[in-house]
Chains A and B, each alone.
Chain A
Amino acid sequence: MTRLRTLTPLLRPASFPTSAKALATSTALFNKGVVAPDKEPFSVYIHWPYCSSKCTYCNFNKYVDPNVDNERMERALVTELKSELVHWGLDQGNRPIRSVYFGGGTPSLARPRMFKLVLDTLSSMCALTKDTEISMEGNPSSTTSIEALKALRDIGINRYSLGIQSFQEHILTELGRDHTPSTALKSLLDARTVWPGKVSMDLIMGHAGQTLDDWIKELRFTMDIVDDHLSLYQLTVEPGTALHTDVKQGKMTLPDGDLSTDMYEATIQLTREVGFEHYEVSNFARNKAYSMHNSGHWIGIDYLGIGPGAHGRVSHPHTRQKFRTFNVRDPAGWMRECEEQGTGRRKTDAIELEDSKRELLVLGMRTRRGIDLDRFYQLTGQGLLEFLNKDATAWCIDAGLLQLSAASLSPTERGMAVADELSVRLLP
């Protein structure tokens, strides 16, 4: 610990690249007591950057590397985690951990040791409670035995998110996935026995040539085997992917606006029929099995970003100024930084107060819960309704796109479908 303290000059406000203005406003707020001394839980995101193959649609920070140096990677993760916890004053015991999320890439390719080292570090430096949600992402191709899953559970993982993407062979091939529908199904059932009620699965809709009927069939099948959480994404053409090239060159056409809207609406309806709540644009839960980690992100909870290319959003322990952090993206470079500097954090940007407000708006409009009025005030020092364009707000409420209660402003189902447009409209 003492060694680490000398590696990063910690807890000295001067070491934060704070914009003078942002610092002044947030200090003022803090002095006025707008934000209570920090007891707010925070989250931790751990990025495992390796995959066994590259999917055609994916532009996440991921690498296919047959010679992963697990040992070194694990060490670097732990080093960075320790430095960052200290740097942001998260080892002071006042802030419990809300969630830990192992994402990727493909975390299920990592050794169980990696999870153990990280969780041990967390529990030794902070308050890891029995309510802390600890999730990991997994691919069907790398979770072949139920024993392996049990080992992960025993280490502390209590929620599992399985990337299935599709149950149709030709779609899986098209996407460049390295598993079949049956391995996916087996992985899912295994996971459900290990983490009953705590398994989520990802599916993608809107593939080239996919009809509304195709998707409805796939959804109905899914409803028979699903646990209590679902992420159903519309296929998005991301720059720098093989899919992007194909679409740009006209080799592939994705469903147009109307068809993709029909799929979106069918999804909401079919999941609702079996008890799922559409609680975020692409997320569905029943029995209140919401993802704590993701919901935290949407309501402005701090999260630490650990690992290559991970990003975080953390508050200064004294001034409560929020920062966005960015890590070195390539694993080798990131590991070197961790070894030499104690952290691979490359950029730390103060988030202007106005940007915080906008972020709460944009993310809030994507969720069923919407924006909590008190919380918005506590975080920003301004009332939400004061911040928003008044005419537009009134108009959207009238038009049945927004709902206003004493506690929150939230989008209706119709509103959520046009959340991007709503946000632009509601901005002052």
Chain B
Amino acid sequence: MTPKTLVDKIWDLHVVEPGASDLLYIDLHLLHEVSSPQAFAGLREAGRTVRRPSHSVATTDHDVPTDGRELPADASAAQQLRVLADNCRDNDIELHQVGSPGQGIVHVIGPQMGLTRPGTTIVCGDSHTATHGAFGAIAFGIGTSEIEHVLATQTLRARRPLSMAVTVTGELGPGVTAKDLALGILAAGGTDAGTGTVIEFRGPAVRALSMEGRMTLCNMAVEMGARSGLVAPDETTFAYLEGRPRAPRGDLWDEAVAAWRTLRSDADAVFDRELVVDAGAVVQRVTWGTNPGQSVPVDGVVPDPAGIAHPGERAAAERALAYMDLRPGTAMRDIGVDVVFIGSCTNSRIEDLRAAAEVLRGRRVADGVRGLVVPGSMLVRQLAEQEGLDRVFTAAGFEWRMPGCSMCVGINGDTVGPGQRCASTSNRNFEGRQGPGARTHLVSPATAAATAVAGRFVTPADL
């Protein structure tokens, strides 16, 4: 038999009908309020129904207020939340909305419930569905027409992805996180290195990551241009899943684990693309530009576009510096921030909050800096409170918020002001992403916390 990659193995398990685009069975469909209303409306108008309501799970996250109010002040956002609730009720779909203990960012609740499982196909109208690949699932974002397609047929038409192996050798240094690794890979490979592929992250430094770290890494695979990222499941995966509310139990658990153990790329499988990264060379990073590939070490300087050979990339870097109001040669350590945001589906899990709290214990945010911690889900929030992390954050001068996407995308009212500079643990530093005119610098939770204390970009070791 020809050796196969893990992605091909999982793909083959789900092909309903082969073709130029395969018809692929979808095991889990996640929904949120922003990308789904037109899909449900399309079904309704055509008189169609949801084929497998039990395969869909919905939450509210993008629009929801994080200051404790139940409904957003914005009427259209409030309307969108109502529409999702109506659609879920009418179609018998499980919904975790604000006020319920299961609510949270869609990519945080799937794993925490034990719904995100190895070997499965998972889609959601959201590009960061890639996050779920951390469990060894094929998980990718889809558009609204495709959401309608999945609701009606429980399948999707999709081209078989190309494969890319990103092998991370060695060991990450002390204080260097999965976020730094993701930014490092992006800086090395660029924002379209993974186009057309699903990236399999492998190698000892990936094996050594916790599930939270793997989720951060797979989350950022989409910023590398890939459709998704994944990590072959192992004991770390099984330990995370065991006992979760929706994880299989008893004989079903044993049967599932036996199947999951077979999920790995064959030793001699050939990948379409390969990239090898030395973990030992990865350091704490911060972005300076307006795409996630534009980053430097925290102790580095703003690069000079004149040094970029490609004319298009050079012009883009010049545009980015103008938007970010930065001059080449400025030390990142000398750049002050106005806002620090700890949250988003990249870095809002319990481990992320622990890392930030550890830095903030006994310290205060610098004068004039606004700090926001937005846990990824109600469960993360509750866990953090049990551990007393909320008190660490508030004592340090951070706002302790309710779960949601919040300042990652800035449509719930939590925004960074025009011209303000934000150290953010999210995944996109695009122009205007956190609000019109907002300037975003992507960092890890620990770097974000240290930056809040210093009022400028530093690592915890600098404090």
A-B interaction: no
